[in-house]
Structure 1
Amino acid sequence: MKVQTMKTMLLHHHAWGRLLSGVVLGLMCAQPSWADPSGTPPLGAVFHDCALCPQMVVVPAGSYLMGSAETELGREIYESPQHRVMILKPFAVGRFEVTRDEWQICVAEGPCQAQSSRTGMGAAMIPGAGRLPVVDITWEQASQYAQWLSERTGQPYRLLSESEWEYVARAGSQSAYAGGDTFVAGRANVSPAMTESDAVPAAWHVGSFAPNAFGLYDLQGNVWEWVQDCFHDNLAGAPADGAAWTERCTHAESHMARGGSWKTPSVQTRPAHRAWAHGSEADIGFRVARALTP
């Protein structure tokens, strides 16, 4: 039965690829979805650079204290020292985590690899599975997707830096959670938020919960999100300008992931919480970012 199921999935992927191959090139060249003649979307705008590209949200410049305060409940030592970060320019961030459908377009084009069969066993049974976040991909594969988007659109796509991720997850807040100092059940797909009546032991469709103050979804729970930075065991010496921290790594082969997942306790969905991984995991996905001006 397992062999038959996997064979059916592979045939489905091949058919999907053939269907997309004739339309992707044209759609990837479509014009951005805002009408500003200056070429720069306004703050808060939702746009996409092509019909099949991820939706992006323009977030403002600003500053915040990265890391956790010594009094924050659930704080870990590697979330310190707390320091101010200045985000000097507005930039665009994926409205949602990159979905299975969006990933499959890159697979059809060639640069991206199909998900391993283990990720499809449960998710394929969920209606609208294409709206689930793509998972079980490595940091290198997530970076390759961003590079593919850049080449197709002519825009500078990338993963968020760790400090950018925390900035947009906080969305103007300095509390332990984006909505206050305590976790409120029912606002994110995270283990303590589930009930027997509606629990799904996996990721949910992106956008299943209300957005944060910047208009971004699922920065709390659902799936961990890869960021650019390699692993550092604390924040001593971290960049203060929003740049990715890719030098003097504690372990260069490991990279940071943020946000928690459906499997994690709520304390790991705090914006300050830091995690890292070496390879792919069934609950790690990602979202993309891009600069708005050179």
Structure 2
Amino acid sequence: MPKNLLPVKSWNNQDEAFTNVAQGIRSAAEKLIKERQKKREIKEAAIAEYRQKAEYFASDGKISFLELDILNDLQEKLGLADSETSAIRKNALDSYTIYKQKIATYRLSLINFIHEQGYPLDENAETELKQFQQHYKLKDEDVVRIRKEQEAKLFTENLGNGVVLEIVPIPGGKFLMGSPYNEPERYDSESPQHTVTIQPFFMGKFPVTQSQWAIVAALEKVNIDLNPDPSGFKGANRPVECVSWDDAIEFCARLSNKTGKTYRLPSEAEWEYACRAGTTTPFYFGETITTNLANYDGNYTYNSGSKGEYREQTTDVGKFPPNPFGLFDMHGNIWEWCQDTWHKNYNKAPADGSPWMSENHNRLLRGGSWYHFPRYCRSGHRAWIARVGRKNLVGFRVVVAASLRTY
């Protein structure tokens, strides 16, 4: 072997000769392996870059001429062969077709699964769906989109004449009902705080509107007559008001007959649970309230808040931001009837979310109104009037039983 740039003519012994020769071969081989590995890595990186761009362009099921021009430029830059790039493009388009077939399978399976299981799905059912998604290797964003599409169909009640009733799924859970002793401007009727367990249910996204009321009021009578246009502040998308507790019960009965579902008023516990939506502050948006967030008498403030607008009337539903459950107008605009009769505090209140009934004729109101101070709009505030009372600051929203199986 050459040493010091001079040819080697002899070794001290045969072992030294073999060792030098072996070392030389190994060094040359390692250098060759590294060079090949580097070339392989460069090629793999080039193919990966081209594949990523091709899959992006193929994500709508086709690769346009302009996109193909871009891919051709990229191919030249990366030094890829035509056979390599054409195979990548074909695989990208084939993968799109296969993926779309998997999406279609998932959508159909989801519809059948909800029809069989009822909605909302319990924990076991959600686990099964997650395993189904993983089996088909579906992207989270596609699954979320499909579920939203199906839920939109599931949770929209078509009342006719272009009027719909939108329903929001409320997950089950536990919460602390009532207000803490240190909450500003609270009342003793909001005590004692107690843990309540709520089963899943569905709630109207908005208070019942005047257009919804008019259609249902025209349906066949169940127990009592209904005024088709009772509200003082007129507007198809404003909440219906000047309706008694018995009027609201009749509305639910007629709607149940029309749809085959069980519509009712929320229990007081369900209403507060839905309003709070996992929050513990006086309002679902925080420690204070402004008239940019709700409709109430803005001449008055709460907890260092600022004064605002006093509109002196109801506003269209959905004007203000929703809570984390997607419910609108839970604070202000109109008081909302609950099923429960009035009790002066929570001593011996049920812990399972059921309505708390007694012999008196006073019924629960929740949420505050356009007319009242901000303190009355708090999540934990309670009020009442007689069940026959009809005021232009009292309306309601509906609840649906948990198992919705009809699309």
TM-score by length of 2: 0.57
Q: Does 2:403 align with 1:290? A: no
Compare CA radii of gyration and give the structure with the larger one.
Answer: 2
What corresponds to 1:48 in structure 2?
Answer: 156
Which of 197, 201, 204 lines up with 1:94 in the alignment? 204
Contact 1:116 1:136 in 2 (8 A): no
Deviation at 1:196, TM superposition (A): 11
Deviation at 1:36, TM superposition (A): 2.7
Deviation at 1:292, TM superposition (A): 2.0
Which of 270, 282, 290 lines up with 2:378 in the alignment? 270
Q: Which runs of 5+ in 2 are unaligned?
A: 1-109, 122-147, 301-305
Provide closer, same or farther for how the CA distance between residues 193 and 179 of structure 1 changes in structure 2, counting only shifts above 3 A. farther
Q: Does 2:241 align with 1:130? A: no
Q: Distance in 2 between the 1:147 and 1:51 partners?
A: 14
What corresponds to 1:114 in structure 2?
Answer: 227
What corresponds to 1:13 in structure 2?
Answer: none
What corresponds to 1:36 in structure 2?
Answer: 111
What corresponds to 1:232 in structure 2?
Answer: 343
Q: Distance in 1 between the 2:312 and 2:189 partners?
A: 29
Paired positions, count? 249
Q: Does 2:270 align with 1:164? A: yes
- Segment drifting more, 38-47 vs 60-69: 38-47
* RMSD of Structure 2 on Structure 1 (CA): 2.4
Contact 1:186 1:193 in 2 (8 A): no
Which of 78, 86, 104 lines up with 2:214 in the alignment? 104
Deviation at 1:49, TM superposition (A): 3.3
Provide closer, same or farther for how the CA distance between residues 80 and 115 of structure 1 changes in structure 2, counting only shifts above 3 A. farther
Letter in 1 for 2:226: Q
Deviation at 1:197, TM superposition (A): 9.9
Higher helix residue share: 2
Q: Distance in 2 between the 1:66 and 1:208 partners?
A: 27
Q: Distance in 2 between the 1:218 and 1:270 partners?
A: 12
Provide closer, same or farther for how the CA distance between residues 176 and 196 of structure 1 changes in structure 2, counting only shifts above 3 A. closer
Q: Distance in 2 between the 1:146 and 1:172 partners?
A: 27
Q: Distance in 2 between the 1:242 and 1:193 partners?
A: 35
Q: Distance in 2 between the 1:269 and 1:49 partners?
A: 28
Deviation at 1:190, TM superposition (A): 1.0
Which deviations, in whole Å up to 9, do the C-alpha atoms of 1:60-105 show, x marking residues without a partner?
A: 1111110110111011001111100111x32110000000011101
What corresponds to 2:334 in structure 1?
Answer: 223
What corresponds to 1:204 in structure 2?
Answer: 315
Identical-pair percentage:
37
- Give the match's secondary structure for 2:174: strand
Deviation at 1:42, TM superposition (A): 5.1
Q: Distance in 2 between the 1:272 and 1:64 partners?
A: 12
- Give the match's secondary structure for 1:130: coil
What corresponds to 2:173 in structure 1?
Answer: 62
Q: Which runs of 5+ in 1 are unaligned?
A: 1-34
Q: Distance in 1 between the 2:229 and 2:345 partners?
A: 33
Which deviations, in whole Å up to 9, do the C-alpha atoms of 1:114-159 show, x marking residues without a partner?
A: 2676x34xx33xxxx1101000010001011111111111111100
Q: Distance in 2 between the 1:260 and 1:196 partners?
A: 17
Deviation at 1:193, TM superposition (A): 7.6
